[in-house]
Amino acid sequence: MVRFVAFDALLFLLPFGAYALWLIVTRRTLRQADDWTVKIIAYLALAGAVLTIAALVIFIHLDTAPPGGTYVPAHIENGVIVPGQIVVPEAAPAP
């Protein structure tokens, strides 16, 4: 769970980091208050939120789990750990 929260936080903070890098490259400083107005911070927050939501939507659509499958959790068989997987029921043969 921490991995997902950290990934989302990284995506949200990415526009802030890009803007800070742009300020360093173009103006050689981050300390001027005129560069961090409420309007700019709001735009960066909006861009971070859009980026995070877009990533979540993309990851949901790229999910490879087939519909109708059953999750089998990780277990031990003959002393070997078998990772969790989704088992798809076999289609019944047509009569």
Quick check: is 10 in a domain?
Answer: yes
d(CA 56, CA 33): 33
CB atoms within 10 A of CB 11: 18
DSSP H helical ranges for 28-93: 38-61
72 sits in the region (left: phi over 0; alpha: psi -120 to 50; else beta) called beta
Q: What's the number of domains the chain is made of?
A: 1
Quick check: is 71 in a domain?
Answer: yes
Q: Are 52 and 11 in contact (CB under 8 A)?
A: yes
pTM for this predicted structure: 0.68
Average pLDDT along the chain, 95 residues, taken 10 residues at a time: 89 96 90 90 97 91 77 93 87 58
Q: What is the CA radius of gyration of the chain?
A: 23
Quick check: is 92 in a domain?
Answer: no
Q: What residue numbers bound the domain in which 38 lies?
A: 2-87
